[in-house]
Amino acid sequence: MTVPTRLRWLWLTLAVVLVDRATKAWFESQTVEGWHHELIHNFVYLVYSRNPGLAFGILSDSASRGTRIVLILGSIAVIAILAWLLVTSQSGGGFAVAGLALLLGGATGNVTDRIVHGAVTDFFEVWFGTYRYPAFNVADSAIAIGAAFILLDILFGRRPETPHSRS
């Protein structure tokens, strides 16, 4: 049995999970929830916050056990689909495959946090004037970059040539 060449991209997935978990573990051990530190004046901050909900704090107010279970099961389903696409899909170029690997790593990092702690640890915060972008982490960054890679592949990737039909 030959291993699909796309499996080589799992190193990127593993790297995202390991870096995400290491940075979260550092923040969890070295700071307290609510801690913040300005890195770039009025622009980038390190913070320690926990989000029991979805991205951008959606459902964070309803952090019940049922919501947590639904979010974990939904994340596991997404991870399974991403892994299947990464291994079996024949379409898309390098950007798409890298994007899938990044999405898979980010989703795995965040669901691990949700399972272990009941919430996702976030620690980066960016301000644009008076607008505060919701806190995020390495996994969230990998998800955003992965989605951008897939979009770039869809918009600008090479398409396989199809035979022209004759009339």
**Is the pLDDT confidence value at 73 over 50?**
yes
Average of per-residue pLDDT across 67-95: 88
When mean pLDDT is compared across 8-17, 37-46, 62-71, 98-107, the lowest value belongs to 62-71
**Active site residue ranges:** 122, 140
Place of tokens 């965040």: 110
Q: Which distant-in-sequence residues (6+ apart) come within 8 Å of 54 by Cβ?
A: 60, 71
What's this model's pTM, rounded to 2 decimal places? 0.86
**Is the pLDDT confidence value at 64 over 80?**
no
Q: What is the pLDDT of residues 99-153, one digit of tens each?
A: 999 999 999 999 999 999 988 999 999 999 899 988 999 999 999 999 999 999 9
The token duo for 76 is 């596991």
Question: In whole angstroms, what separates CA 115 from the centre of its chain?
Answer: 16
